[in-house]
Amino acid sequence: MESHQKHQWTKDDVRTAMRRNEFVPFFQPKIDLATGISSCVEMLARWDHPELGILPPSQFIKLIESAGLIDEFTDNLFRQSLVSAANNAMTGKDIGIAINFSSLTLQDPQAPRRICSLLNEYGFPFDQITIEVTESATPENFSSVIKSLTTLRSQGFKISIDDFGTGYSSLKLLSKMPFTELKIDRMFVAGISENKKLTGILESIVHLAEKLNLNTVAEGIETKAQLDFIRKLGCNVGQGFYLGSPARGFEVMNVTEDARLAMA
Ligand code: C2E
Ligand code: MG
Ligand code: MG
Ligand code: MG
């Protein structure tokens, strides 16, 4: 499925796909590593292509951004996610939703107002939404992104720094941004027991996050050994194929049987 790298999509392709509502939300659980329970799902966008099937964001997010469609795109997937949340009677409104936001959206001073009014339309509480933003916010829009995130935080939103450790100016960001959560990039998790340096950095990031009173999320947990290590380290939350893969419905929230047994 992830092998259609040859495709050179154009802006027109993504415009058409948008008009045809081919972009759909998948959800992956964020699992509380103390309880094994999912407190939140991360929405991960997919292109449900009529001929090629499900395509990952690496094939379309950049194009959507350069076509000037990212705000409309994010709004649309956000709405679909809120509808899924509302339709899921079992889940009700107790489950949080994490949304990945482009810095292009967050640099707009109107962004917080637009996000709040969208949630108000659905009566969804702000404090159950996590805004995930990667470190790659460019220097030019840096301060306007901080302003939006600070406003959103003051409205109760949780703010997560995604792919931590892979961008620039991580430590500067940590001191300036109103983060509530730090997501450790899966590169460090993949290095567990294979790469001493990466493992050392991973341990230090968890300690750093503790000092700063941030929730820690480890991305990309694929094995029992990684899960055991991450839990021993004191990471609060885990995500990865071993715990639960992204899937179409909200019912994916339950942790896999293997991981449940590993945490029992
Ligand atoms: P991310 O936010 O860091 O999301 C985690 C990525 O890791 C997802 O890739 C997920 O499917 C994948 N993943 C989860 N568990 C594992 C694992 O155990 N092993 C491995 N190897 N991978 C795992 P995906 O869905 O392809 O998304 C890639 C990136 O695209 C996301 O990274 C996020 O930055 C971006 N993205 C996704 N949806 C949206 C969206 O709606 N808006 C924006 N602006 N960006 C999005
Ligand atoms: Mg993310
Ligand atoms: Mg990430
Ligand atoms: Mg990542």
Q: What is the distance in A from the centroid of ligand 1 to the CA of 30?
A: 13
Rounded percentage of the chain residues whose pLDDT exceeds 90: 77
- Spatial neighbors of 232 by CB under 8 A, at least 6 apart, are none
- In a 13 Å sphere around the CA of 122, the CA atoms on its Cβ side amount to 22
Q: What is the pLDDT of residues 46-84, one digit of tens each?
A: 999 999 999 999 999 999 999 999 999 999 999 999 999
Contact at 8 Å (CB) between 100 and 32? no
Radius of gyration of the chain (CA): 18
What does the DSSP assignment read for 20-87?
A: TT-EEEEEEEEEETTT--EEEEEEEEEEEETTTEEE-GGGTHHHHHHTT-HHHHHHHHHHHHHHHHHH
Is ligand 1 within 6 A of the CB of residue 220? yes
Give the per-residue pLDDT at 1.
47
Q: Which ligand is nearest to the CA of 240?
A: 1
- Spatial neighbors of 191 by CB under 8 A, at least 6 apart, are 197, 198, 199, 202
Give the per-residue pLDDT at 5.
57
Rounding to the nearest 10 degrees, give the CA dihedral for residues 99, 39, 79, 118. -80
Distance CA 54, CA 60 (A): 12
Q: How many CB atoms lie within 10 A of CB 211?
A: 7
Distance CA 224, CA 196 (A): 19
Output the six-digit token pair for 127: 């404090």
Least confident of 33-42, 99-108, 160-169: 160-169
Q: What is the DSSP letter of 248?
A: S
Q: What is the pLDDT of residues 176-195, one digit of tens each?
A: 789 999 999 999 999 998 89
Distance CA 236, CA 226 (A): 14
Strand partners, 131: 99, 159
90 pLDDT higher than 70: no
Q: What is the distance in A from the centroid of ligand 3 to the CA of 213?
A: 20
Q: What is the distance in A from the centroid of ligand 3 to the CA of 150?
A: 21
221 pLDDT higher than 50: yes
Give the per-residue pLDDT at 228.
96
Give the per-residue pLDDT at 196.
92
Is ligand 1 within 6 A of the CB of residue 167? no
Output the six-digit token pair for 70: 């990212």
> How confident is the prediction for the chain on average, in pLDDT?
91
Cα–Cα separations (whole angstroms), residue 65 to 102, 111, 182, 207: 8, 15, 25, 35
6 pLDDT higher than 50: yes
Ligand 1 atom, smallest distance to 101 CA: 44
Q: What is the pLDDT of residues 95-121, one digit of tens each?
A: 899 999 999 999 999 999 999 999 999
Token look-up 């990039």 returns: 185
Give the per-residue pLDDT at 174.
83
Pocket test for ligand 1, best of 3, 31, 44, 145 (most atoms within 8 A of CB): 44
Q: What is the distance in A from the centroid of ligand 1 to the CA of 204?
A: 24
Catalytic residues: 219
pTM: 0.95
Contact at 8 Å (CB) between 248 and 26? yes
